[in-house]
Amino acid sequence: MGILKSLPMDFVVTNALLVVTPLEAMAETSAADQYSFKKASKDRIICTHFKLCSVGASKIAGNEVIVDPRKQDLVSCLKNGKNFLRNQDPDKAFLEFKAALELSQTIKNPIEEKKAARGLGASSQRQGKYREAINYHSMVLSISEREGEDSGNTEAFGAIADCYTELGDLDQAATFYDRYISRLQAE
């Protein structure tokens, strides 16, 4: 009984109810709970902050819960790619970002699509594939134009300029450095 005293009572009661109460009875408690139960009943059920969620769900930032497993895979690919870049493994990073790009396009998420394109550009750049990197960094600019949102463009201009410098095309590099500097000054 000493162990039970040390655990918060809410936690103990909630877990006891999950074990003892039939799931159908829990689903009948309210309309909101019924929706949560029906949504979760397709998979196994877990309890997160005393609400029923599908196993495919995960907590991201604040109260945002990802239910679509493709979104969870997308976020995972982006995180893995970033970690591989940090650990100086651009080949593995490229594969993760490539998978993230395909997922983001499939679920039509332009913000994550831009992150994936930026990661592909950085991975290609670190592999010395400067033309390929330019294409991916340019994709960031295209997505920004398409969506009317320009976050990440300053970095894309700088990265494209760096790639042209590495390729020895100093005229193109100068053009993109000028755009990079003008955006820095505007920020």
Q: Give the residue extent of every domain in the chain.
A: 8-66, 69-186
- Which pLDDT score is estimated for 67? 72
> What pLDDT, on the 0 to 100 scale, is given for residue 60?
52
For residue 46, the 8-state DSSP code is: E
pLDDT score of 18: 43
Cβ 81 vs Cβ 119: under 8 Å: yes
Q: Please answer whether residues 97 and 119 qualify as being in contact, where contact means their C-beta atoms are separated by less than 8 angstroms.
A: yes
For residue 21, the number of C-alpha atoms closer than 13 Å in the C-beta half-sphere is 13
Share the mean pLDDT of the chain: 77
Token reading at 20:
């003892």
Q: What are the backbone dihedrals phi and psi of residue 47, each rounded to the nearest 5 degrees, phi first?
A: -115, 120
pLDDT tens sequence across 104-119: 999 999 999 999 999 9
CA-based nearest residue to 97, from 119, 125, 128, 72: 119
User: In this structure, which CATH number among 2.40.100.10, 3.30.360.10, 3.40.50.2300, 1.25.40.10 belongs to the domain 69-186?
Assistant: 1.25.40.10
Q: Which of the residue ranges 22-31, 76-85, 145-154 would you say has the lowest mean pLDDT? A: 22-31
* Number of residues that this document lists for the chain: 187
pLDDT by residue (tens digit) across 153-186?
999 999 999 999 999 999 999 999 999 999 999 8
